[in-house]
Amino acid sequence: MGFNVAASLALAIVYVLTIPPILDSIERKIRAKLQTRYGPPTIIQTWLDILKLMSKELRVPQGSELSYALLLTLFILGVASSAVLSFIIASKAADALSIALALVFLASLHTVSIISSAITANPFALVGLFRSIVLSIINEVGYFISIVIALTSSALIALNLNAKTFLLLSIAALAVLISTYVACGRLPYDIHEAEPELASGTLIEFSGPALALYIYTHLVERYLLMLLAIHSLFYSIAIQLPYLLSTLLTLVLASLLYLVYGAIAPLLGRTRIDLGVKFLTASYVTTLTMWVILWSV
């Protein structure tokens, strides 16, 4: 059994560190298909882009040195989060400590991203920062709560599958899906780095290898969010399967969720911060209330 966990862990780590850029390329191809054009020529395009960026000149604009320093922290945090989450998936952990650890790592990753925008001297980035902070506060809370209630529902289903527990899982699933989507930073919620005419976030400071690192960490983070989401929703199935199979299933389902989200994003426009806040607050309050009421019944 120890060997199985170790094998699953190895599989998970390798997968998490190599597949997200490929998923990004597939997403770009899907978006292109929806827009009647070709998109990137190969599935490994994002990897090729990252490697190409590695070979470009590194130029640190005045005033953004701190952002560059934080970038290394970001990358290390990204790798560490991958390790933590891979371990959780591989060992099918669902205890409070592990989940808390996972959520803390993911939150730190997101926070460090925001901080690197905050400490830049670029005036445009500050505008995106304000929106990013507001959105993050609401959505991170939503994400945490949704993961917790999803895992709880999954655990309840594992104990006893009936209409009530299934309904609980469905409500939790709704909250998980919304919060995961928003946390990815896809349309309609890409406003922290969008309004490219006005505020383009930190991306404009990074060049060459730094940009490659940033993009890579960003893609891995997106995938990790999916991973935790799928883990919390399919936990009741995962615990019944052997380690290797459950890990593989979770990894693949998370990839599919990534691509489904990738297909939804081009269909929508960009929201505005006040509209986004209204929608998210309403969604989380409603789902949490419904879940709590149903649970206590």
Q: Does residue 191 bind other proteins (CB under 8 A)? A: yes
Residues whose CB falls within 8 Å of the CB of residue 72, separated by 6 or more in sequence, listed in order: none
Please say whether the beta carbons of 12 and 86 come within 8 A. Answer: yes
Binding of other proteins at residue 62 (CB under 8 A)?
Answer: no
Binding track over 149-188 against other proteins, x by CB under 8 A: --------------------------------------xx
The correct pick among 190, 207, 248, 288 for binding other proteins (CB under 8 A) is 190
Here's the x/- map for other proteins, 242-281, by CB under 8 A: it reads as ------------------------xxxxxxxxxx------
**Can you say whether the dihedral through the CA atoms of 184, 187, 191, 195 is positive or negative?**
positive
**DSSP per-residue letters across 118-154:** HT---HHHHHHHHHHHHHHHHHHHHHHHHHHHHHHHH
270 torsion bin: left (phi>0), alpha (psi -120 to 50), beta (else): beta
Find the helix packing angle between 163-184 and 208-233, rounded to 10°: 170
User: Rounded to the nearest whole angstrom, what is the least distance from the CB of residue 189 to other proteins in the complex?
Assistant: 10
Alpha helices in 160-195 (DSSP H): 163-184
Q: How far is the CB of 197 from other proteins (least distance, A)?
A: 4
201 binds other proteins (CB under 8 A): no
Size of the site for other proteins (CB under 8 A): 30
CB closer to other proteins, 3 vs 38: 38
Angle at 260 between CA 87 and CA 75, to 5 degrees: 40
Exactly one of 6, 14, 52, 130 binds other proteins (CB under 8 A); that residue is 130
Residues that bind other proteins (CB under 8 A): 31, 33-38, 123-124, 127, 130, 187-188, 190-191, 194-198, 266-275
